[in-house]
Amino acid sequence: MQLLPEFDLIQDAELREKALQCWELALMEGGWTPEALLDMPFTLLITPCPANFIEHVRGVTLTALRAAEVFQQIYGERLPVQRDVLIAGGLLHDVGKLLEYRRNAEGQVVQSENGKLLRHPFSGTALAARAGLPAEVQHIIATHATEGDKGHRSTEATLINHADFMHFHSLLRQAGG
């Protein structure tokens, strides 16, 4: 997917292919095109939303990856990070939003009927399972949002969770919220 060059950072070819398949499933089932994601807000909680979906996914992925690089530099093997799992989880953390959101008759992005019942961590995890992604990646998707606050998060999931909320809260404040 050309809009997300970070897929090329996943060294494990099988993991990369399954992550791309997950995106393809989400695009098809949600009725989105890759280009439409450039106009899709990354959240419906900030109006107007200052960043699109693709910018957010890339930003979260790269922020978490940079933090993992610092962990490696400072802690080495005392705090290991599965780099490919982290990148795949970052690229897929919000993939369920392609089912949670839809365009209405006026062209606005709104919450879908499916999205009212299943938030994106749930639908995204289901998509990842169908694409054959490992449990470590599914775990990141499932726990990256508030739904994961009461349970265990792997190091990779913690990095994605914090990167996600760093972006959300910074953009919220910039928008005046």
Amino acid at 105: A
Q: What is the pLDDT of residue 91?
A: 99
Judged against a pLDDT cut of 90, whether residue 174 lies above it is answered with no
As a three-state string, the secondary structure of the chain is CCCCHHHHHCCCHHHHHHHHHHHHHHHHHHCCCCHHHHCCECCCCCCCCCCEHHHHHHHHHHHHHHHHHHHHHHHHHHCCCCHHHHHHHHHHCCCCHHHHEEECCCCCEEECHHHHHCCHHHHHHHHHHHCCCCHHHHHHHHHCCHHHCCCCCCHHHHHHHHHHHHHHHHHHHHCCC
The tens digit of pLDDT for each residue in 110-133 reads 999 999 999 999 999 999 999 999
Judged against a pLDDT cut of 90, whether residue 146 lies above it is answered with no
Q: What is the mean pLDDT of the chain?
A: 96
The tens digit of pLDDT for each residue in 28-76 reads 999 999 999 999 999 999 999 999 999 999 999 999 999 999 999 999 9
Q: What is the pLDDT of residue 175?
A: 77
Count Cβ atoms within 10 A of the Cβ of residue 156 and give its class: 0-12 exposed, 13-18 middle, 19 or more buried: buried
Place of tokens 């969770």: 161
Round to whole Å and give the CA distance between 150 and 130: 25
- Specify whether the CB–CB gap between 120 and 97 falls below 8 A: yes
Domain ranges of the chain: 7-37+50-160
